[in-house]
Amino acid sequence: MDTSSSDVARLLRIFAARALVLAFITGITGATTLAMVLGLAGVGLLLAPVEAARRKDVSR
């Protein structure tokens, strides 16, 4: 198993969770536009393909 892709996937999940928590908090405080932007960013990070986020090896 490629460890770099699992590291990228783990980081994407962490950033997605933080964005969704911030969306929830800003939604409670009344900043609905910011909450929607953060929520969409969180969902986008959860659905992002890991292969696209990985750096390609150009030394070959």
Other beta carbons within 10 Å of 49: 9
Q: What is the pLDDT of residues 3-48, one digit of tens each?
A: 666 788 889 999 999 999 999 999 999 999 999 999 999 999 999 8
Name, in order, each residue with C-beta under 8 angstroms of 13's C-beta and a sequence gap of 6 or more.
45, 46
Q: What does pTM read for this prediction?
A: 0.74
Q: What is the mean pLDDT of residues 45-57?
A: 70
- CB burial class (10 A; 0-12, 13-18, 19+) of residue 46? middle
For the chain, give every domain's residue range.
3-48
Residue with the larger pLDDT of the pair 27 and 57: 27
